[in-house]
Amino acid sequence: MMPARYQRTGFIRPMPVFSPDSFIVADVAPSPNFDERKAGRAPDMILLHYTGMQSGDAALKALTTAASKVSSHYVVFEDGRIVQCVQESLRAWHAGESSWAGETDINSCSIGIEIVNPGHEFGYPNYPLRQIAAVISLCKSIITRRGSIASDRILAHSDVAPTRKQDPGEKFPWGLLSESNVGHWVRAAPLDLEGTSIRPGDRGDPVARLQRTLRTYGYGINDTGSYDDATRIVVAAFQRHFRQARVDGIADPSTLLTLRALIETRPSPPFSTAIA
């Protein structure tokens, strides 16, 4: 529901245009789909999405239409144009049912950036370099102004909602962001490493350690010791972000070593966990 200050009996006021939070924003297209961050929470996460619609204009219309009940703080078009829809101080509705590091109200702690791309359903093209440059500039602007966003809190929608979402997907160039000091990322271990894989159907301590390590990094997974479908989905989400060359949900040596490297290089990890 919209805050009372934006309502009148019988009709909804047109959304007021606000001043953008960043000077690199080209346009403001106010969305009615927001509320207050819970308990005055300041955002300490950036969540990246793709729009998953056939055009950027269609996506922007959906994000600024009350009936859709979805929004994001920013939309980045293919040509690098950035549009702001919700002020950063407010809670945009972009994450949906999601969790990270035990937290389930991701909308209250995050700033959502929608990146125009039709996604897997509509051909999933590569992201233009101009668009990625704009995403990097926007993230750096947010990090500089906020000063409270750790590199491992710049995440994909698929990280926080692996059972529902794939965006921004395995074509999103997280390595380019990392080269500009945006996000926590390591070069993935080679695919052809020898060693034992952990795969669907497996049970026992190696599976439990894998699940525990994924949870340590932030993924919503329980250490049941059974490589069930939920584990496969989370491993695929991890690969989609950090080991993009093959997304198959199998914890092969490349995936395991990449996960280990992320744990070892993570800024101020809560604790470390050995993996198989």
Task: For residues 201 and 253, state if they share a domain.
Answer: yes
Find the mean pLDDT for residues 212-241: 97
45 and 83, same domain (yes or no): yes
Mean pLDDT of 218-227: 97
Q: Does 51 share its domain with 169? A: yes
Same domain, 169 and 226: no
Whether residue 206 sits in one domain with residue 83: no
In whole angstroms, give the CA distance from residue 96 to residue 157.
9
Give mean pLDDT, residues 4-25. 64
State residue 25's pLDDT score.
98
HSE-CB for 229 with a 13 A CA cutoff: 1
Six-digit token pair at 204? 């026992």
Q: Of the residues 114, 170, 194, 264, which is catalytic? A: 114
pLDDT tens profile 163-208: 999 999 999 999 999 999 999 999 999 999 999 999 999 999 999 9
Burial class of residue 171 (count of CB atoms within 10 Å of its CB; 0-12, 13-18, 19+): middle
Alpha-helical runs (H) found in the chain: 56-63, 106-109, 129-146, 157-160, 174-179, 205-217, 229-242, 253-265
Give yes or no for residue 12 having a pLDDT over 60: no
Helix ranges, 29-156 (H): 56-63, 106-109, 129-146
What's residue 269's pLDDT?
Answer: 55
Residue 195 and residue 73 share a domain: no
**Which of residues 179, 202, 235 is at a domain's end?**
179
One domain for residues 159 and 244: no
**Which H helix or E strand runs over 156?**
strand 154-156
pLDDT(14) > 70? no
Q: What is the CATH number of the domain that holds 144?
A: 3.40.80.10
Please tell me whether residues 127 and 161 are part of one structural domain: yes
Structural domain range at position 41: 14-179
Residue type, 82: I
pLDDT of residue 17: 87
Predicted confidence at residue 245, as pLDDT, reads 98
204 and 260 together in one domain: yes
Q: Please, which residues have CB within 8 angstroms of residue 154's CB and are 6 or more apart in sequence? A: 45, 46, 48, 139, 177, 182, 183, 184
Q: pLDDT band at 156, cuts 50/70/90?
A: very high
Q: Is residue 3 part of a domain?
A: no
Among the three residues 179, 197, 227, which one is the final residue of a domain in this structure?
Answer: 179
pTM over 0.85: yes
Tally of domains within the chain: 2
User: Do 173 and 200 sit in the same domain of this protein?
Assistant: no
Neighbours of 3 (CB within 10 A): 11
Please say if 114 is a catalytic residue: yes
Quick check: is 27 in a domain? Answer: yes
Write the DSSP symbol of residue 143.
Answer: H
Structure confidence at residue 16 as a pLDDT band (50, 70, 90): confident
Question: How far is 168 from 158, CA to CA, in rounded Å?
Answer: 7
